[in-house]
Amino acid sequence: MVLDPSSPVGDGTVKMVEKPTGEPERETWGKKIEFLLAVVGFAVDLGNVWRFPYICYRNGGGAFLIPYLIMLIFGGLPLFYMELALGQFQRCGCLTLWNRICPMFKGIGLAICIISTYVSWYYNTIIAWSVYIFFSSMRSRVPWLDCGHSWNTNSCYSFNTEHSNMNNTSIAIDWSNTSHQSPAEEFFELEVLGLDNANGIGDVGGIKWSLTICLSGVFVIVYFAMWKGVKSSGKAVWITATMPYVVLIILLIRGCTLPGSWGGIKYYLSPDFSLLASHEIWVEAAAQIFFSLGPGFGVLLALSSYNKFTNNCYKDALVTSCINCCTSFIAGFAVFSVLGHMAYNQEKEVKDVAREDVGLIFYRLSGSYRIIIREGSTFWALLFFFMLITLGLDTTFGGLEAICTGILDEWPWLRKRRELFVLGLMAYCFLGALATTTYGGIYVVQLLDNYGAPVAIIFVVFLEAAAVSWIYGIERFSKDIESMIGHKPGIFWRFCWGVVSPVFLLTLFILSVVFPQTPKYGSYVYPPWSLNLGWVIVCSSLFFIPAYMVYKFIITPGNPLERLRAMTIPEEVPKHAQEVIPVYL
């Protein structure tokens, strides 16, 4: 249905008329479990075993859990529920949705597509690293067990009480010497990345073709999982969403049996309350919640739009968000038990055994897991990195599906050529990701990880919450939910949507702009021009929000006040809606 042009703007009501689109009936998930697995698979990602532990480590272990839980209850969970309900009721993607909520905010959908593109440029490269290491582990002895390989330097030493350098000379190690590097660290930086051929983000060197081949393999898998829509991706998630839990539980049990593991777990659970006075820990907690649960990325809108109309999205929101956050919490035990063991071996404090960057999950954990696995190193390495691959694939399915659903719903004629459209999208994202497969690609990854999504997504989710709650109306939104599940949301949800979540989000966005986080990798210091480039990346997605408002204002007829009023009135209602609720200006 669309706005009837014969209805005078400003008379207090809007009359809706049927829109003769001739669109085919929207496909739905084959089984309810496929939807749940897709949502869990998207939400439970590398961020749970990479980003969450590394942010915990950077913020004093258990101290981070307090703002994390607060942001979950008052920010992440209500918005997670909101997006599932919006997608299921409106049955469309992140672009068309705003025609039915508040047309002036359609730029939010464009911003979401840009943000998802940036994430695809570096996130799939992280999966490619795992693919590279996975295949490198297919030998009788994994290559990061010891030194003596072609990529090792004279600074290479293993974790044993006595260690061997390239010349196999037995020596005792003084771990206070920061020049020492583990075999895993050198394997990751020198063999996987080829970092010795780059001189920072200003000179990243050429493309490392072995990584490029791995990246192309990732995109091929993603393509064949997505080319038929939810019919194909719904089958893929049976493996990609369940396998990581099997591996994670096994690694958790083994990690907790290691000598010194309790020291790491104690560090993980012991909060330093003085850190709570820092704005940084709150900003990072919010960013982690939104990055993990995924409100604002358009994925929840896309996935839930293929649900049946009467599906209980409220129960889905509670179950899937709790599974996601519990997974992060459990993964923390697995990671910190290993860090505790590393600290025990090196006679260090837990806070001193690992660096605070993206390499934590790769060379620190792969290096320490070789202590865990001893004789079965190859099998366990393959299992561990297969877990990382499946974790990453689920999330990239969701992120790219958000773009696909948004564009295909906005231009339905493209659905007849979905296979070609998805192929074009994969090619575009692959070309954009090539910069991250250079020898210095990890510097690009850190830059994109810092600026591509976290800051912009907080503002996007703020505008989304504000538009739904303050313009579309909480009461109307609650009636939409009632029509699907039989009852309205409770006062807690309505209060969070209307007051708590928008205020929190706006405050966090202001803090993240006034006190920005700078990217880091080891001791490398990013030059000022690269930080300016980072803010250009942030603004490049947010730019579409005011730009579309201006465009909409120009093309809307009437005087300025009439235009502004018309821009806040839904232009469409979903064709499955049983009745149209009057819209009061």
Residue 223 included in any domain = yes
Per-position DSSP letters for 59-108, written without gaps between them? TTGGGGHHHHHHHIIIIIHHHHHHHHHHHHHH-S-TTGGGGTT-GGGTHH
Whether 303 maps to a domain, the answer reads yes
Whole-number percent of the chain with pLDDT over 90 = 34
SS3 content of the chain, % helix, strand, coil (to 5): 70, 5, 30
**Residue of 130, 108, 114 whose CA lies nearest to 381:** 130
Is residue 519 classed as helix, strand or coil in its secondary structure? Answer: coil
| 161 occurs within a structural domain | no
Q: pLDDT value at position 421? A: 93
Three-state DSSP string of 261-273: HHHHHHHHHCCCH
Give the CATH number of the domain where residue 77 resides: 1.20.1740
Distance CA 431, CA 423 (A): 12
Higher pLDDT, 350 or 312: 312
Determine, yes or no, domain membership for 173.
no
pLDDT tens digits, residue range 287-300? 777 777 878 888 88
**pLDDT recorded at residue 170:** 35
250 pairs with which residues across the strands? none
How high does pLDDT run on average in the chain?
Answer: 81
pLDDT digits (tens, 9 = 90+) for 151-199: 988 888 765 433 334 333 333 344 344 556 778 778 888 999 999 999 9
Assigned domain for 226 exists? yes
Residue 186 in domain: yes
**Could you report the per-residue pLDDT of 525-579, keeping only the tens digit for each?**
999 999 999 999 999 999 999 999 999 999 999 999 999 999 999 988 777 665 5
> If you search the block for the tokens 């591509």, which residue do you land on?
452
Q: What torsion, rounded to 10 degrees, do the Cα atoms 372, 373, 379, 380 define?
A: -10
Kindly tell me if the per-residue pLDDT of 370 is higher than 70. Answer: no
Beta-bridge partner residues of 170: 164
Q: Which residues pair with 133 in a beta bridge?
A: none
* 141-163 pLDDT, tens digit each: 888 777 888 898 888 876 543 33
**Can you tell me the distance from the alpha carbon of 304 to that of 92, in angstroms, rounded to the nearest whole number?**
9
**Structural tokens at position 257:** 């049996």
pLDDT tier, 328 (very low <50, low <70, confident <90, very high otherwise)? confident
Domains: count for the chain = 1
- What is the rounded average pLDDT of the residues 220-243? 77
Give which of 175, 230, 161 is closest to 371, Cα–Cα: 161
Q: Taking 70 as the threshold, does the pLDDT of residue 263 lie above it?
A: yes
Is the residue at 194 inside a domain?
yes
Taking CA 201 as the corner, what is the angle to CA 143 and CA 536, rounded to the nearest 5 degrees? 130
Structural domain harbouring 412: 2-144+182-567
Residue 184's closest CA among 375, 385, 8? 385
Are 557 and 550 in contact by the 8 Å Cβ rule? The answer is: no
How far apart (Å, rounded) are the C-alpha atoms in residues 78 and 84? 10
Could you tell me how many residues make up the chain?
585
> Which backbone phi and psi does 2 adopt, to 5 degrees?
-135, 165
The answer as to whether 68 is a domain residue is yes
